[in-house]
Each structure stands twice: as C-alpha cells, then as structure tokens.
C-alpha cells in the first residue's frame, strides 16, 4: 500500500484519478485542493466515505500549509494536477494562471524537495513527484499528419498553455538541479463524467437539453485528440507507480475530431437518447450557432502516444464512439450534479467532507 497526495483532486481529471485509486487499488489518498469554482467535492462522493480517503482545503501557493500536510501524511507519491485550465479564462485573467500554475508549482516543488531530502535512502528511491500537464504546451500542428512527441519543441499560444509550459520547465529543472525524482505527462483533451459544464462537450450536451444555442468558435474546423478521462486516470497511476525517474510521456486517445464534428455527434446521440426535445426545437443540430473565434485559437492538436505503450503497455480502452455514448448518457442521468453547479449549491455543500 502506498500513500499518494493528489493536488487538484476535486477537479475533473483529479477526481477521476482519486476514484480510480480508491476503487481499484489498496492505496491511501490525500486530496489537496483550493476548491476554486472548478473544484467539486460532489465528484468524490462515491469514495469520500473510504477510510483511505482524506481531504485538505489548501491553496498550493500556501507553503506553510503544504509543508504541514506533506509532513503529516508522509506520501510515497505526489501527483500534481492542481491548475487553472480554461483557455478563455486565461485570456480574461492571466494573472490567476501565473499565480496558480507557475508560483503554485514552484511552491509544491520546494516543499516536496524539503520533504524528500529528509527521507532515508530507500524511501528517497521510491518517491515520485508526478507533474500532470497538457499537449497545449506544444502549440498547434499545421500539417494533417504531424503528431506531438515527447521531444516536440514548446510553443504555447495562450496564457494558459504558457503557464503550463513554465511549470513543466520548473519540474525538469528541479529534477536536474536538485535530483528530485520527477516524471511528467502531457495529455490531450479529456472528456467524460464530472466535466465542468463550461467545457465544450458538457456545455453542448446541457445547452441542447435546454434548447439553448450551441456556440461553435469560428468555422468549427479546429481538431483535437480526445481522451476519455477514466482511461487517462489509469495511465496517470501507471506512470506514477511504474515510470523511470526523469521520463516524460504523452497520453492521447487516438481520437482526432473536428470541433464541429464533436458537436454533431452529440446532437446525433441526443436524438437517440432524448427524442423529446424542448419546445421549438425540431432537431438538436439546428441549435448550432457559429460565434467569433477566440484569440490565438490553436487549430490542431494530435498526440503520438506510442512511447507510453512501448514502455508501460498503456493504450486507451475507449473509442470516441464508446466514450461519447457513456459521456452523453452520464449527463442525462446525473442532472442533479449539473444543477448543483448551475445554482451554486455544490460550493455550499463542502463542509460535510472537509476534515
């Protein structure tokens, strides 16, 4: 049994990782999360009663609280997912992204280094600091066949991706300069259950069910590689527990899709699952509305995930078709989770789980 800290564990990907660890392993987990707007403890309801689950509300920029939590819990692994992650929000307010993604990562690295140096040699060898990042640090691809590899030069386009690129560089520097045992993963776009409704897939599902417009940026031809979040959680645990120190892995879903095609797939699935539409809607696809493209919008992301398969044997289990069917059905069947976000009650119900 290992003890694992997951920062950002109440977020979309972080909560999937925590659910996987509690349900599929014997490991003990401490979630550290500031609980910003995207931190939703209801995403952890199904594992929160486990005696192997613990939670502390901490801002990763708060080094004193971080140090206390790390020293008390004595982790074997720290999985760092805490980050501001929405590109549109980074354009509106870049400073928050610099503070959390850069300064916060620096703070966590420093306190992890102090902790690691105090461990005996055997525990030092077993310790891992796993930094979870994004393929957006690479910029975008202009060809139709090119793929991001682990050696693709960084060329971030937005304040969000620039802040994540910065945090990646910090992690590599702490490994090279201070010998902190680190691993890094860069993932493609995630989708699946418990995704915050401002993101494209849940936004389109929920808007369509309410008969609201489905806003598509520009011409909708932007291409993304989509990764089912539960496949990603399995990959992250595998890297955290099995990867060699200093390695970097790209994690992708092998599912390139144009944004407009994703929206059309959602509409088609809703026609099947929810044929009784809101008043005035004949077909869900009629709700598609093209809006002004956002500044610096990357046109194509696509990941070469062959290294993680060759080294660790991981590959995604879900196709885009199977994953999307599960995702759309989850949002249809979990309207209360969505309603609690819309009315703000998810933020008011936190006290029951905080310990």
CATH code of residue 95? 3.40.50.720
Domain-embedded: residue 355 = no
User: Which pLDDT score is estimated for 296?
Assistant: 73
Give me the catalytic one of 20, 115, 138, 160: 160
What is the phi-psi region of residue 14: left when phi exceeds 0, alpha when psi lies from -120 to 50, beta otherwise? Answer: alpha
Cα–Cα distances (Å) from 238 to 17, 164, 232, 251, in that order, read 11, 22, 10, 11
Domain-embedded: residue 45 = yes
Count of the separate structural domains present in the chain: 1
Rounded to 5 degrees, what are φ and ψ at 174?
A: -70, -30
pLDDT in tens, 6-65: 999 999 999 999 999 999 999 999 999 999 888 999 999 999 999 999 999 999 999 999
Domain-embedded: residue 88 = yes
Give me the catalytic one of 28, 136, 231, 256: 136
Q: Is the pLDDT of residue 351 over 60?
A: no
160 tagged catalytic: yes
Give me the catalytic one of 135, 140, 168, 230: 135
User: Which pLDDT score is estimated for 348?
Assistant: 65
Q: Is the pLDDT of residue 141 over 90?
A: no
Domain-embedded: residue 335 = no
Q: Is the pLDDT of residue 269 over 50?
A: yes
Domain-embedded: residue 352 = no
Rounded to two decimals, what is the model's pTM? 0.93
Domain extent for 88: 3-196+227-254+299-319
CB distance 149 to 304 below 8 Å: yes
Domain-embedded: residue 351 = no
CB 341: neighbour CB atoms within 10 A? Answer: 19
122 tagged catalytic: no
20 tagged catalytic: no
Domain-embedded: residue 266 = no
Domain-embedded: residue 347 = no
User: Which pLDDT score is estimated for 349?
Assistant: 54
Beta-carbon contacts of residue 335 (< 8 Å; ≥ 6 apart): none
Q: What is the DSSP letter of 203?
A: H
CB 327: neighbour CB atoms within 10 A? Answer: 24
Question: What percent of the chain stands above pLDDT 90?
Answer: 82
Beta-bridged to residue 215, according to DSSP, are 289
Beta-bridged to residue 300, according to DSSP, are 223
CB distance 326 to 318 below 8 Å: yes
Beta-carbon contacts of residue 189 (< 8 Å; ≥ 6 apart): 224, 225, 226, 227, 301
């Amino acid at each position: 049994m290992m003890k694992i800290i997951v920062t950002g564990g109440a977020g979309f990907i972080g909560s999937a990782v925590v659910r996987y660890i509690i349900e599929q392993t014997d490991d003990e987990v401490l979630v550290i999360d500031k609980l910003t707007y995207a931190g939703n403890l209801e995403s952890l309801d199904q594992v929160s009663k486990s005696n192997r689950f613990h939670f502390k509300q901490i801002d990763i920029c708060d080094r004193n609280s971080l140090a206390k939590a790390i020293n008390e819990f004595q982790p074997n692994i720290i999985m760092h997912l805490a980050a501001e992650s929405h590109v549109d929000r980074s354009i509106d307010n870049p400073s928050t992204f610099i503070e959390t993604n850069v300064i916060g990562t620096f703070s966590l690295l420093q306190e992890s280094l102090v902790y690691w140096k105090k461990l005996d040699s055997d525990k030092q060898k077993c310790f891992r600091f796993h930094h979870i990042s994004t393929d957006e640090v690479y910029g975008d691809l202009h060809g139709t066949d090119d793929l991001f590899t682990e050696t693709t030069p960084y060329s971030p386009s937005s304040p969000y991706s620039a802040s994540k690129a910065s945090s990646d560089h910090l992690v590599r520097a702490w490994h090279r300069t201070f010998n902190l045992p680190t691993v890094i993963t860069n993932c493609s776009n995630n989708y699946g259950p418990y995704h915050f409704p401002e993101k494209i897939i849940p936004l389109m599902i929920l808007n369509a069910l309410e008969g609201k417009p489905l806003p598509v940026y520009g011409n909708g031809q932007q291409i993304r590689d989509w990764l089912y979040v539960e496949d990603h959680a399995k990959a992250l645990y595998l890297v955290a527990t099995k990867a060699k120190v200093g390695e970097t892995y790209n994690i992708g879903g092998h599912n390139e899709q144009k944004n407009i095609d994703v929206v059309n797939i959602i509409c088609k699935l809703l026609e099947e699952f929810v044929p009784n539409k809101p008043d005035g809607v004949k077909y869900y696809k009629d709700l598609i509305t093209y809006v002004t493209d956002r500044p610096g919008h990357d046109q194509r992301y696509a990941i070469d995930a062959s290294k993680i398969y060759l080294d660790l044997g991981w590959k995604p289990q879900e196709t885009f078709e199977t994953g999307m069917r599960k995702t759309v059905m989850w949002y249809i069947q979990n309207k209360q989770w969505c309603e609690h976000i819309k009315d703000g009650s998810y933020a008011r119900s936190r006290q029951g789980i905080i310990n």
